[in-house]
Structure 1
Amino acid sequence: MYKIENFADLLRGRLDEDLEFVSYSAKSLTAPGENYGSVMLSVEIKCKNKKFDKEEIIYAVAKTPPQNEFMQQIFQTKVTFKAEIEFYKTIFPLMQELQKKHGMKPLQYHAKLLGERLNLQNTDVVDSNAVLLLENIAVKGFKCADRMKGFNFETIKLILQDLSNFHATGIALKLQCPDDFNIKVKPFLNLMIFGESAGEENDKFLEDTIKVSKEVIDENHELKKYLPAFLDIIEKKLDQSAKEPFATIVHQDLWVNNLMLKEENGKFIENKFVDFQVTRFISPADDVLFLLLTSIENDILMEKFDYLVEFYYEHFLVTLKKLDVNTEPFSKEAFEQEIKNAYPRQLQHTLTMLFPIFMDKSKAMDMTEFNPETAPPVEASKEQKEKLYSIVKLLAKKGWL
C-alpha cells in the first residue's frame, strides 16, 4: 500500500460535519504507459457517520508528483503541480460564479476537490509530499476511451460542446472580471509550453520523434511528396504568444486519456476534463486542433474535420452570448484565421505526443524506472503510422502543406 503522510490533514474542513475520518488505503491507479506526469493513486477513505453511527467509504484519487527526476523536469512539476491545485481551489469556482451570475447552470466538467497541499510545512514549495485529492469519478461510471482508436463522431461532439463552454467562460472572465483574472488566474497559465527545452534528454527525444516522423512519411509513396513542406513546419520556431480577442484559458494537453466519460446503454453521455497542470493563455483553436488531431477516429478526422471545427465554433458563440460578451470581434472568419495560425504549433505538439499516445502497451515502461539513456529507441507503432498518415492527408487536403 502507498503511504500518504498526514492524510487526515488533507480532509480538514472538507468532510461533511457528520463524517469523521477513520483510516485510508491507497494503491496504484494507472498501468505503465498510461500516465507519466504524476503518480496516480486510487484511495478509499473510511469515515464514521456520527449521526447514524455507521461506516461510510469515500472513493478518491490522489495525484502526487512523479518520483522520476527526468519526468519532474519534463513536466516542470515544481510549478505545474501548484497550477493544477489552483485550478480546483480558485479558477473553477471563479468560472462557476460567473456562469451563475449570468443565469447559466454552472459547469460541472471536472471532478470535485477533496483536499490539497504543496508540502507538509505549509510553504509555497512543491515537494514529494504534495497531494491533490479528488473524487474518484470512475465509481460513478466515468472511464477513458480507447486511446488507440479515438473518439467516435457523437462522443467528440459531446466533448467539443463542453470545451467551447470552457473557452468562452475563460474569455468572459478575462473581460468582465479583469482583476480576478490577472491576479488569480493568469499567474497559473503558461508555466509550461510544449516545444520549449526542458533539458538535453528532452531535446534528444524531440529530435528522435521528428526523425521517426520523417521516416514514416518518407516510406509512404503517396505522401512523401509532402515531406519538404511538412519538415518546414515542424522544424520552424513558431510564435507562441497569445493574441486578442480570442486568448483564453486553454487546457493544452487535451487527448483521450485526459478526458473521462460516463457511458449509458453503450453511448457516452457526460464528460469530465482531467489534468490541468500545463494550462495556457492562448487561442482556443490550439485545444480544438490538438484534440482533433490526436483523439478522433481516422476516418472522422478526414471526413468531418471542417464540420467539427464549425460545430465547436457555433457552441462557443452561443456560450459567449449567454455570458453577455459582445460577439462582433469573434466572427467565423476570425476564428478560421485562429485555426490557420494555430495548426503549425499543434502539428509540432501532436508529433511529440503520438509516440506516448500510440505506444504498444506491452512495451511501456514504469514511470519510476524510466531513464532516457536506457530507454528503448523511439519506434513508430502501426497505430502511430496510421494516425500520422491521416494527419498529413488532412493537412494536404486543407492546403496547409
Structure 2
Amino acid sequence: MPPTVQCDIDDIILVKELKPVVRQNIKQIISNEGFITCTVNVKDVTTNGANYLGTLQTVTVSGKTKDGDKELHLFLKNIINEIGRNSVVDVSAAYLREGFCYKELFKIFEAIEDKYKIPQEKRLNTVKCYSEINSEVIILDDVSKIDYKTYDRFSVMTKKIAELALEQLAKLHAMSFIIRKEHPKYFENKIKSLHTLYNFNCEFENHLRNTCNKAMETLEGDAKAKLRDFYPKMVEKYSNYIKIAPEEAVCIAHGDFQANNLLLKESNGEPSSVMIIDYQLTYYGNPVTDLLFFIFLGTDQKFRKDHMEDLKELYYGSFESFLSDFGISASAVYSKRQFQDDFKEKLDFGLMCFIQFMPLLFARTDELPEMQNGLASLTLKMDERYKDRLHGVVDDFIQWGYL
C-alpha cells in the first residue's frame, strides 16, 4: 500500500516520501487550497519506459476546509539530478522550460482565448499546473482522475488518435501567431528567444553512431548500405533542422511530440479527447519537425501509406481554422505552400528521429535503459517489434529517394 500520513498543515514537511524541496511546495499548495487537516497519500508511478528525465509520483490530499470536506489530486514529475549539464539535454533547463510553458505561456494564451470567447471544446487542451513548479519538480493536476490515460509506446496509433493529436498540435503551433498579434513585444522577447535545449556535442554524435550501427545490424543488402552512406550527414542535418536561425523559425514547436507525450480520453470505448504533455524540449522552430517526429515514431509503413497525406491535410486545415477564430489568415503567416515545401525538404528528419529514439521507444520493459550516465552509454536492448518498424521506415525513405 502507498504511504499515507494524517497530519496538520504544519506537519506536511514530515511526509518523507517527498523530496525536501517538494514537501515545501506541496505544503504551500495545501495551504492555498484551504485545508485545515488532511491525509496525504503519496504513490510512486512507473511508466514502463515512457519517461526518462524524471521520477513520477501522485499525491492525493483528503481533508477538511472551512467549507467542508475536500480532495485534491496532484501529479508530480521530479527531476533526476544525476543527469548532468554536459549531457545532450540540460535537464534543469528543461524543467524550467516546461515550467515557463505551464505557469506563463499557457496562461497568457488562455486569457486571449477568453478575450475571443473561444468555446472550451475548441481551445488548446492543457493540464492545470500549480505555481509552485520549479527546476526541481513539475506539479500538475492528476488528470487520470477524469479518465485521461497514457498511450502504449509500442502501439501503432489509430487514425482517430492521430487526428485528435494533430488537431491539438495545430493549435499549439497557431498559438505563436496569435500571441504575436495580441502581444508583439512579449512574442519578440519571450517566444523567439526559446532556443533548442539540445547540445549537439560528442555525446549526441556517439549516441547517433551507436543507434545507427544497431539499425544496420538489423538491415541487410541495399538497405544496410544506403543507411551506412547516409550516416555521415546525419549529425549536421539533424542539428540544422533543430538549431535554426530565429529568422528562419516559424513558431513554438513541442520538440518531443510522440505518443508517449499524449494523454488519451475515451467515450463509449472510442478516443474522444487528447491532451499534449511534457513541454520540456519546447523551442522556437519549424512545425513540421513535430509532425515528422510524431508520424515516424508512432506509425508503421502501412499506416503512412494509407493516411500520411490525409493527416497533413487535416493538420493544416486545423491550423487554418483555429487561426481564423482569432482573425488571422493562415496564408499570410505560414502558407500551405510553405508548409508543403518544408515537409518535403525536411522529410528525412523523420528517419533520423526514428534512428535516434528507437532505443527509448522500443526499450524492453524488463530492461529499461538508465539515463544517469548519458545517451551514449545506453544499452540497446529492444523489443522485437522495432525490427518491422525499422525496415518499414528505411524502405519508405529508399522509395522516396532520400536514401
TM-score for the superposition, normalised by structure 1? 0.84
1:29 alignment partner AA = V
Question: What residue number does 2:97 align with?
Answer: 83
1:384 matches 2:390:
no
Counterpart contact for 1:249–1:282, Cα < 8 Å: yes
Matched position secondary structure for 2:330:
coil
- Equivalent residues in 2 for 1:122-271 (5 A)? 126=135, 130-187=136-193, 189-193=194-198, 196-197=200-201, 200-217=202-219, 219=220, 221=221, 223-224=223-224, 226-227=226-227, 230-231=230-231, 233-237=233-237, 238-239=239-240, 240-242=243-245, 247-271=250-274
Q: 1:24: Cα distance to partner?
A: 2.4
Question: What residue number does 2:288 align with?
Answer: 285
Question: What residue number does 1:123 align with?
Answer: none
Identity %: 21
Counterpart contact for 2:363–2:369, Cα < 8 Å: no
Which of 339, 348, 351 is matched with 2:352 structurally? 348
Q: 1:357: Cα distance to partner?
A: 0.5
Q: 1:290: Cα distance to partner?
A: 0.5
2:261 alignment partner AA = N
Higher relative contact order (CA 8 A, sep 6+): 1
Cα–Cα, structure 1 residues 293 and 311, in superposed 2: closer, same or farther, change >3 Å? same
Question: 1:374, 1:208 → 2: CA distance?
Answer: 7
Cα–Cα, structure 1 residues 297 and 264, in superposed 2: closer, same or farther, change >3 Å? farther
Matched position secondary structure for 2:291:
helix
Q: Deviations over 1:201-247 (max 9, x none)?
A: 55432221121123333x2x573464356435525445231566861
Q: 1:148: Cα distance to partner?
A: 0.8
Cα–Cα, structure 1 residues 343 and 86, in superposed 2: closer, same or farther, change >3 Å? same
2:268 alignment partner AA = N
2:110 alignment partner AA = Q
- Equivalent residues in 2 for 1:285-324 (5 A)? 285-324=288-327
Counterpart contact for 1:21–1:45, Cα < 8 Å: no
Extract unaligned runs of 5+ from structure 1. Answer: 119-125
Q: 1:149: Cα distance to partner?
A: 1.4
TM-score for the superposition, normalised by structure 2? 0.84
Q: 1:306: Cα distance to partner?
A: 1.4
Which of 117, 125, 129 is matched with 1:109 structurally? 125
1:22 matches 2:38:
yes
Question: What residue number does 2:8 align with?
Answer: none
Extract unaligned runs of 5+ from structure 2. Answer: 4-16
Question: What residue number does 2:14 align with?
Answer: none
Question: What residue number does 2:107 align with?
Answer: 93
Q: Deviations over 1:138-197 (max 9, x none)?
A: 12111122211131011111111111111112222134422122334344x22413x612
Counterpart contact for 2:266–2:273, Cα < 8 Å: yes
Which of 61, 65, 71 is matched with 1:49 structurally? 65
Question: 2:191, 2:137 → 1: CA distance?
Answer: 20
Q: Deviations over 1:107-152 (max 9, x none)?
A: 352211134243xxxxxxx4xxx22211111121111222111310
Q: Judge which range, 327-336 or 35-44, deviates more.
A: 327-336
Matched position secondary structure for 1:26:
strand
Q: Judge which range, 107-116 or 255-264, deviates more.
A: 107-116
1:179 alignment partner AA = K
Higher helix fraction (1 or 2): 2
Question: What residue number does 1:65 align with?
Answer: 79
Cα–Cα, structure 1 residues 13 and 25, in superposed 2: closer, same or farther, change >3 Å? closer
Cα–Cα, structure 1 residues 212 and 228, in superposed 2: closer, same or farther, change >3 Å? closer
Cα–Cα, structure 1 residues 224 and 132, in superposed 2: closer, same or farther, change >3 Å? closer
Q: Deviations over 1:75-98 (max 9, x none)?
A: 312211111111111000112222
Matched position secondary structure for 1:277:
coil
Q: 1:13: Cα distance to partner?
A: 6.7
Counterpart contact for 1:80–1:192, Cα < 8 Å: yes
Question: What residue number does 1:39 align with?
Answer: 55
Question: 1:83, 1:59 → 2: CA distance?
Answer: 23
Q: 1:12: Cα distance to partner?
A: 3.7
Cα–Cα, structure 1 residues 332 and 62, in superposed 2: closer, same or farther, change >3 Å? same
